[in-house]
Amino acid sequence: MINIDMKKHLALIFTLFFITLISGCVGAGSPPKMTQLQIRQMQTREYEAPKEVVIEASLGFLQDEGYIIKNANEKLGIVYGTKEVDVESGWNKFFGGLSKGLDGDNDVAWDKNSVHEISVNVRGFGKKSKVRVISQVKIYDTRGAVSKVAQITDEEFYKNIFYIIDKGVFLHQEGL
């Protein structure tokens, strides 16, 4: 048999455990919002190469990374590609199916796939080129409706893109 003091201690321990558990779910907050100028600088790079070489390297990057080229116009310096990614998890299927069974609603939706879009704009001036890469992600649910659209503002993402384009420009300039 548990006495009253023991019940109070157990209640206090349970309460502290519950508060700790809940507070662990609270995020540290979102990172500071970038200005449009900061985003543009992150998305832009200059090359000591003609426009045609940089466009070719950009096409190579997109294809190497699994993007389908939807549009390319050398005169305008625009390349656009998309890549579909399955984001549906087993847990989404499980809980989506479970909620269908519980409430009888057959129109339950969860995130199913995403489409990553990349637009590359290359402007040439003499033997130099300036490249701007813009990317966004659209997430579609199981009904085919867009559930989220977000511009990618991750600096590492753009650094990786430019690293691959850098290699393509270098290989072209070396005749490889």
Would you state the pLDDT for residue 116? 96
Domain extents for the chain?
32-173
As its CATH architecture, domain 32-173 has 2-Layer Sandwich (3.30)
Would you state the pLDDT for residue 176? 79
Residue count (the chain): 176
Dmax (CA) for the chain in angstroms is 89
CA angle 19, 25, 31 (to 5 degrees): 130
What does the alpha-carbon distance between residue 63 and residue 10 come to, in Å, rounded to a whole number?
60
Q: pLDDT digit string (tens) for 120-176?
A: 999 999 899 999 999 999 999 988 889 999 999 999 999 999 999 999 999 988 887
For residue 16, name the pLDDT band (cuts at 50, 70, 90): very low
What does the alpha-carbon distance between residue 60 and residue 78 come to, in Å, rounded to a whole number?
14
Q: pLDDT digit string (tens) for 81-125?
A: 999 998 876 655 555 555 554 555 566 778 889 999 999 999 999
pTM (two decimals) = 0.70
Cβ-contact 135, 151 below 8 angstroms: yes
CB-based burial of residue 169 (10 Å sphere; 0-12 exposed, 13-18 middle, 19+ buried)?
buried
What does the alpha-carbon distance between residue 50 and residue 125 come to, in Å, rounded to a whole number?
8
